[in-house]
Amino acid sequence: MAQADMLARNDTGIGAVCGILKQRFGERLQTGAALCAQHGHTTTWITNEPPDAVVFAHTTQEVVEIVKTCAAHRVPIIPFGTGTSLEGHVNAPQGGISIDVSQMDQVIEVNAGDLDCRVQPGVTRMALNTHLRDQGLFFPIDPGADASIGGMTATRASGTNAVRYGTMKDNVLSVEAVMANGEVIRTATRARKSSAGYDLTRLMVGSEGTLGVITEITLRLQGIPEAISAASCSFPTVEAACEAVMAVIQYGLPVARIELLDAMVVKAVNGYSKLDLPETPLLLLEFHGSEAGVAEQAETFGMLSAEFGGTGYAATTTLEDRNRLWQARHDAYWAMLALRPGCKAVATDVCVPISRLAEAVGAANRKAAELDLIAPIVGHAGDGNFHASVLLDLDDRGEVARAEQFVSWLAEMAIALDGTCTGEHGIGQGKKPYLLKELGGAVPVMAAIKQALDPDGIMNPGKII
Amino acid sequence: MAQADMLARNDTGIGAVCGILKQRFGERLQTGAALCAQHGHTTTWITNEPPDAVVFAHTTQEVVEIVKTCAAHRVPIIPFGTGTSLEGHVNAPQGGISIDVSQMDQVIEVNAGDLDCRVQPGVTRMALNTHLRDQGLFFPIDPGADASIGGMTATRASGTNAVRYGTMKDNVLSVEAVMANGEVIRTATRARKSSAGYDLTRLMVGSEGTLGVITEITLRLQGIPEAISAASCSFPTVEAACEAVMAVIQYGLPVARIELLDAMVVKAVNGYSKLDLPETPLLLLEFHGSEAGVAEQAETFGMLSAEFGGTGYAATTTLEDRNRLWQARHDAYWAMLALRPGCKAVATDVCVPISRLAEAVGAANRKAAELDLIAPIVGHAGDGNFHASVLLDLDDRGEVARAEQFVSWLAEMAIALDGTCTGEHGIGQGKKPYLLKELGGAVPVMAAIKQALDPDGIMNPGKII
């Protein structure tokens, strides 16, 4: 079907759909420009493409009704959690209905004995952890933003703890989703492992709303460790810091977090969070385990880091110091923005085999300098995943062009190193050309699956495929 | 297409395909009855349904040629590794060509610095571990049989180490596969994590040969732990042993293995492996870590097990003792068969949430007794996964009927406890009705994917869907 034809049909359909949904959902169907714009993409430099309307769903059955109504009129559906995605996932390039699930925010059950829980998609990771704390449990996936569990599932999110606890793919046991035809599926039971048919759980994790609307998630949980300690260690060069990370991973040290900040980020963080870290490349670490285990890990790290010129290695076990350090890490994004008031950050998230990390980070630093760009680097170094964020004056066309060149170069460099253009943000709108470069012949297979499960292309069109 | 029509077309096509493949592959195309029967299912009570011919492939390109030839004539393709699957996966109910990949047995590369390797599908897990040992690395997935990595990938295998290291889903980084149309895809790069599009890796893991022929696998590896110790502990009842396991998991003790043997299995193992274990329910454990970490884990387990009446708890750190214990565990299948000479074992592999394990194992014991069946139980208890193996005289029709009743009851019981009918063996031919009971509306989604990727239904027909 031609694009023009599709748009024509949307134009006819959207009025009818809005009428039906207004009657059914009353004030929970909104068409105001401000709210619609807020539900289009706002986080990064990607152009805002608002939906025609936003409907706030409260139950799976309501999502079914909305999907069936949209399907009958071939109107696009864009699932929306907190809007913190970085790749235009919530944009509505063909218009349509944004299904906002943020009010589906109940923790349905916690099975402490099984270390799992069932949640609605609008529960945020911080709300979940607050809910769990009394029971000595936590959910480890931490992408920085207080994202919704539904959105984190849809984008296969990860973050600082992934080096030890994995990504969403490893921590979602089962998904309930409303498919394009309005059917509700549950992809798995609460069993810890299963060989029962195709792994639809992992198919939905990372599907970016293009296959169905996620309405419930069953998550693996972890016991809060007996002991936690944090540490920081400075390095003469970013390459030396990366080499220390490589040694840690190859040694098998079970660090819970190992984060890289380059010198520019450390400077930014010092300013923003009122810290006095040495302004050279830095690793921030966290160790989880028994008291003895944590002490042993910290000692081993000290030994390994010294081989790569690590200095100022200091461990802390007080909750206050630890929180201060990690708050600074999580505020790094804002701290970087403050380096250049009025700028926008272009987020990138390549991920390479750990043995290529030093090489990749070094090359990214040099390439940014060559293109006269400011691109501080932070990284979930233990996974080989790093963010070079280009700080950009969007009014400077030359700079924008150079930033685009950098982003493209970075993705291709990662792919050339047998890595990926996206470790955790997803493909969304911006990375489709790189997906093809990265996986080639596998992309038509994805397209065939999309076509089979959403033949009219109504589920979050314009993303991934 | 009606079944009769399909068969008619196969009959026409198979002669042509055999002729073409014979010309191309010479002696590597075999049609002898004995070899074909050996490539049909032989491991369990499932009826042997041999393919029309077996072709031994040596390269991905050869697999492409075979698949394209079969596709052109709509002749079924059945991938074959070592033939150790337990659910009829290698049977050829519609005839066709068995593609034997056992001679594709090269470890292509080991990236020690990245803790990963690329292997051909015919590499067996033991051959891989022998290859890796010099580099201080190992591949942890251990389903007991010396299965091929290709087959383990296709059935989403796991086994004794899964409680710590996960299943094949967690340890396959990427798959190369020849799809039904002869296209070769690579599902991912070597990056540790990725959000690049649909998770085709996890879709192929556990697809049982119904979507494509796996021709290469990239695996995560682990460093051989600094220290390993094994232990055994006896319990007054199977429920008490299960409760101890539940406590271990809930405590977060990172056991590498925690295996349950019921009293009947212990007795069988004592006889078969010349051991003198107390003939009451037993847990076998393994701890991995630093010297201090392993000692701490062993001590914690001792404390936890005592609360549930654990006795005779003994840890061993010598390699010889450890090997003797685990060899006995791996020989349990043969030891059980020896309990009833001439019998066949009906393998089951339900998996339930860990909090329901004691209940499920107790109920399975009682149900077997009620049906006058001999069904010893071993289990990967830390995952909530256990095998009740019915020892069966296949000539006794009444007993066979009761065994079928037991197997069906067991699957439904597990599903009722929010568990799965198959923790690790797969659906294959035998468990299709339970898949529908377990996942209901998700099965048509699987069927739609199958239809999209294999519209002529040539890839391992009659399995899963």
Per-residue pLDDT tens digits for B91-110? 999 999 999 999 999 999 99
Is residue A459 domain-resident? Answer: no
Whether residue A97 sits in one domain with residue A151: no
Is residue B184 domain-resident? Answer: yes
* Cβ contacts of B186 on chain A, cutoff 8 Å: 439-442
Angstroms from B64 CA to nearest CA on chain A: 14
Whether residue B168 sits in one domain with residue B81: no
Q: Residue A402 sits in a domain of what CATH number?
A: 3.30.70.2740
pLDDT at B8 over 50: no
pLDDT at B155 over 50: yes
| CB pair distance less than 8 Å for A192 and B353 | yes
The helix (H) or strand (E) run that includes residue A116 is: strand A116-119
- Each residue's pLDDT tens digit, A74-85: 999 999 999 999
Work out the mean pLDDT of chain A and round it to a whole number. 95
- Each residue's pLDDT tens digit, B356-368: 999 999 999 999 9
pLDDT reported for residue B2: 42
pLDDT at B7 over 70: no
Q: Which of A44-58, A320-334, B56-70, B207-221 has the lowest mean pLDDT?
A: A320-334
Among B223, B250, B268, the domain boundary falls at B223
pLDDT at B5 over 60: no
- Between A170, A195, A438, which is nearest B170 by CB? A170
Q: Residue A132 sits in a domain of what CATH number?
A: 3.30.465.10
Chain B 435-454, CB below 8 Å of chain A: which residues? Answer: 435, 438-446, 448-453
**Residue B219 forms beta bridges with which residues?**
B117, B172
Contact in structure between B230 and B315 (CB atoms under 8 Å) = yes
| CB pair distance less than 8 Å for A197 and B111 | no
Is residue B352 domain-resident? Answer: yes
Chain B 222-281, CB below 8 Å of chain A: which residues? Answer: 222-223, 225, 246, 249-252
**Cβ–Cβ contact A113 with B under 8 A:** yes
Is residue A450 domain-resident? Answer: no
Rounded CA separation B41/B31 (Å): 16
Q: How buried is B451 (Cβ within 10 angstroms: 0-12 exposed, 13-18 middle, 19+ buried)?
A: middle
Q: Residue A331 sits in a domain of what CATH number?
A: 3.30.70.3450
Q: Quick one: which of A450, A348, A80, A121 has its CA closest to B197? A: A450
pLDDT at A414 over 70: yes
pLDDT reported for residue A315: 84
Q: Quick one: which of B329, B411, B406, B334 has its CA closest to B366? A: B406
- Each residue's pLDDT tens digit, B277-321: 999 999 999 999 999 999 999 999 999 999 999 999 988 878 888
Is residue B268 domain-resident? Answer: yes
What is the average per-residue pLDDT within B182-194?
98
Whether residue B111 sits in one domain with residue B218: yes
- Length in residues, chain B: 465
**Six-digit token string for A458:** 């109504």
| CB pair distance less than 8 Å for B192 and A354 | yes
Whether residue B350 sits in one domain with residue B326: no
Among A169, A204, A223, the domain boundary falls at A223
Whether residue A292 sits in one domain with residue A379: no
How far is C-alpha B373 from the geometric centre of its chain's CA atoms?
Answer: 24
Q: What one-letter code names the amino acid at A88?
A: G
Whether residue A399 sits in one domain with residue A318: no
| CB pair distance less than 8 Å for B195 and A155 | yes
What is the average per-residue pLDDT within A232-255?
95
Q: Provide the pLDDT confidence category of residue A11 given band limits of 50, 70 and 90.
A: low
| CB pair distance less than 8 Å for B427 and A197 | yes
* Cβ contacts of B385 on chain A, cutoff 8 Å: 191-193
pLDDT at B381 over 70: yes
Is residue A463 domain-resident? Answer: no
Whether residue B190 sits in one domain with residue B248: no
pLDDT at A451 over 60: yes
pLDDT reported for residue A73: 97
pLDDT reported for residue B9: 47
Q: Provide the pLDDT confidence category of residue B369 given band limits of 50, 70 and 90.
A: very high
Question: DSSP assignment, residue A210?
Answer: S
Chain A 82-101, CB below 8 Å of chain B: which residues? Answer: none
Contact in structure between B212 and B275 (CB atoms under 8 Å) = no
| CB pair distance less than 8 Å for B187 and A439 | yes
Rounded CA separation B56/B446 (Å): 30
Q: What one-letter code names the amino acid at B18?
A: C
Q: Which of A35-44, A439-448, B292-301 has the lowest mean pLDDT?
A: A35-44
Whether residue A312 sits in one domain with residue A392: no
**Residues of chain A above pLDDT 70, percent:** 98
For residue A116, the number of C-alpha atoms closer than 13 Å in the C-beta half-sphere is: 22
- Each residue's pLDDT tens digit, A356-383: 999 999 999 999 999 999 999 999 999 9
- Each residue's pLDDT tens digit, A160-187: 999 999 999 999 999 999 999 999 999 9
How many structural domains is chain B composed of? 4
- Each residue's pLDDT tens digit, A190-209: 999 999 999 999 999 999 99
Is residue B462 domain-resident? Answer: no
Whether residue A238 sits in one domain with residue A139: no
* Cβ contacts of A446 on chain B, cutoff 8 Å: 197-198, 200
Work out the mean pLDDT of chain B and round it to a whole number. 95
Q: Which residues contact A404 (CB under 8 A, 6 or more apart)?
A: none
Q: Which residues contact A192 (CB under 8 A, 6 or more apart)?
A: A173, B351, B353, B354, B383, B384, B385
Among A223, A239, A272, the domain boundary falls at A223
Whether residue A254 sits in one domain with residue A199: no
Whether residue B324 sits in one domain with residue B256: yes
pLDDT reported for residue B168: 98
pLDDT reported for residue B11: 58
Q: Which residues contact B346 (CB under 8 A, 6 or more apart)?
A: B44, B45, B389, B390, B392, B403, B407
* Cβ contacts of B179 on chain A, cutoff 8 Å: 445
Higher-confidence residue of A266 and B331: namely: A266
**Cβ–Cβ contact B464 with A under 8 A:** yes
Whether residue B384 sits in one domain with residue B325: no
**Residues of chain B above pLDDT 70, percent:** 98
Q: Which of B109, B186, B192 has the most A C-beta neighbours within 10 Å, making it the best mutation to test the interface with A? A: B192
- Between A188, A422, A452, which is nearest B196 by CB? A422
pLDDT reported for residue B314: 85
**Cβ–Cβ contact A284 with B under 8 A:** no
* Cβ contacts of B446 on chain A, cutoff 8 Å: 197-198, 200
Is residue B29 domain-resident? Answer: yes
Rounded CA separation B116/B219 (Å): 5
Q: Would you list the DSSP string of A241-277?
A: HHHHHHHHHHHT---SEEEEE-HHHHHHHHHHHT---
Q: What is the dihedral of CA A277, A282, A286, A292, to 10 degrees?
A: -90
- Each residue's pLDDT tens digit, A118-174: 999 999 999 999 999 999 999 999 998 999 999 999 999 999 999 999 999 999 999
Q: How buried is A32 (Cβ within 10 angstroms: 0-12 exposed, 13-18 middle, 19+ buried)?
A: exposed
Rounded CA separation B69/B33 (Å): 22
Which residue range(s) make up the domain with B406? 335-428
Q: How buried is B321 (Cβ within 10 angstroms: 0-12 exposed, 13-18 middle, 19+ buried)?
A: middle
Q: Please state, in angstroms and as integers, the Cα–Cα distance from residue B122 to each residue in B28, B57, B87, B365, B387, following that order.
A: 16, 10, 19, 38, 26
* Cβ contacts of A197 on chain B, cutoff 8 Å: 206, 427, 435, 439, 442-443, 446, 464
Q: Residue B51 sits in a domain of what CATH number?
A: 3.30.43.10
**Cβ–Cβ contact B292 with A under 8 A:** yes
In degrees and rounded to multiples of 5, residue B317 shows phi and psi of -120, -5
- Between B116, B188, B438, which is nearest A189 by CB? B438
